[in-house]
Amino acid sequence: MPLKRILIANRGEIALRVVRACRDLGLTSIAVFSDADRTAKYVRLADEAYPIGGLTPAESYLRVDALLRVASDAKADAVHPGYGFLSENAAFARAVTEAGFTFIGPAADTIDLLGHKSRAREVMEAAGVPIVPGSPILANVDEALAAAERIGYPVMVKAVAGGGGRGIRVVHNASDLSAAVPVAQSEAQQAFGDGDVYLEKYLNPVRHVEAQIMADTHGNVVSLGERECSIQRRHQKLLEEAPSPAVDATIRERIVTAATAAAKATNYVGAGTVEFVMDDAGNFYFLEVNTRIQVEHGVTELVTGRDLVRDQLLVAMGEPLPYRQEDIELRGWAMECRIVAEDPYAGFVPSLGTIDAVSEPSGSWVRVDSSVFEGMEVTPYYDSLLAKVLTWGATRQEAIDRMLRALDEYVIMGVQTNLPFHVELLRNPAFLAGAVNTDLAESIIGNMHEATAQREHIAAIAAALLAYTTSKQGVTAPAVGGSGEPAVSSWAAAYRPGGLTGGWRGGGR
């Protein structure tokens, strides 16, 4: 069916991404904004924008009633959920369609099925998709203990309705499992409103490899290659690349076959991602399906030449996919660094404040998907993602070299960011060799903590020497703490890139 007016039920860079795709297709983009986002870039660039109140997600972007009211008042034809918030919420998808709008994504029943990890595993196993050894939903601790004996330790206790790394506990023995199951059930009930949990074999070290899929309403399903997403902190991705350095043509064909089988088995429509874990031997196992556009979709776009958000919109209009599986050819290498307002020298704690200055990198084969602007307030209400820096190269090394150049050009003043982490990662020998796994990021973060501790020790000595020297000379040492802080903290801060400016200038210097 023809669509003309698209309501974007999201914020930040993904909302801006959808605004631009709408403009390319001649569609009217309708933005919504909370009180905190009143001056956001996507609000200013959308064709129309409407307030939905409040500061927090619960007061704004998670309010189904407010979103549907705006859709009705603005005479929208369809709703694009973006990623995060309500994008994988079956009740929202159902409410959108029942209100007479097109939901740009899979059907609510498909989201329901794939959001339930245990049922999804059963469907995948029946479709011939490899799955990690695991258990059915657990009724009690005794069932968990029996299942763990059969599977073999270590195991993961996983919430059936979990996502984003939440609702997961790794246990290594029966005693820990007995304690973990009731805690996980309670945690899952509070977080997701569903206390069911099950077990999966804990595989470590592993890679996190995912396949992009696109499916239309005419039964066509295509996989657009794989992405390597192993660089993670606490199950949150930090860097992605396409293709994976561990996937050859034979493995890729198997992944494509599994991903398309997963889509067909669930009557999938739209953009989605089938996620797998993969061991060093190239064996991969189904993890989950993300029923939305992914944060990292840009790396797939760079190596395939497809605009995935545009394709989402065309599929929602009932158009058949303009390409077949045999048309998909991966060209070169793409890489994405997620830039977040978090301090890698302080355990990735969020950094809040005002963006005083920003200058984004540019040049050949550099793309920045960003919602950042000077004067923007980084608040505690939303995800800390500020921007995504993407580079393309004919080879993996060329993409890495261009990324280092881009990070060196990036200026963000006013808040701390994880830009220094990315530089450390891109120069790490294991990363350069493509020998990545889901533990690599944590080891680099640990090294950064250790280096910070050493610098703080040196700073403490320097502060003590300064105090001693000035007292001998009869001069009062300048105050460097303030508010009761020990003086060493300011000295230590000076050792961080941007420590004296409250920001980061340059990645490679």
Active site residues: 292
Q: How far apart are CA 318 and CA 316, in angstroms?
A: 5
Count the alpha carbons within 13 Å of 126 in the hemisphere toward its beta carbon: 10
Q: What are the tokens at 125? A: 């196993």
Among the residues of 8-58, which ranges form H helices? 12-24, 41-45
Torsions phi, psi for 42 (to 5 deg) = -65, -30
- Exposure string of 234-254, with b = 16+ CB inside 10 Å and e = fewer, is eeebbbbbbbbbbbeeebbee
Contact 467, 495 (CB under 8 A): no
Q: How far apart are CA 314 and CA 312, in angstroms?
A: 6
Estimate to the nearest angstrom the gap between the alpha carbon of 208 and the chain centroid: 13
Helix axes 308-316, 297-304, angle to 10 degrees: 100
Torsions phi, psi for 431 (to 5 deg) = -65, -45
Q: How far apart are CA 233 and CA 346, in angstroms?
A: 14
- Cα→Cα distances 258→43, 113, 116, 205, 379, Å: 39, 18, 19, 22, 41
Contact 303, 331 (CB under 8 A): yes
Element of type H or E holding 390: strand 385-393
Contact 485, 397 (CB under 8 A): no
- Cα→Cα distances 487→452, 456, 467, 468, 476, Å: 16, 11, 10, 14, 14
Q: Which of 114, 119, 92 is nearest to 163 (CA)?
A: 114
The DSSP secondary structure of 287-310, one letter per residue, reads: EEEE-S--TTHHHHHHHH---HHH
Q: What are the tokens at 180? A: 């973990």
Peptide bond connecting 182 to the previous residue in cis, omega within 30 degrees of 0: no
- Exposure string of 83-108, with b = 16+ CB inside 10 Å and e = fewer, is bbbbbbbbebbbbbeebebbbbbbbb
Q: Which of 13, 494, 6 is nearest to 296 (CA)?
A: 13
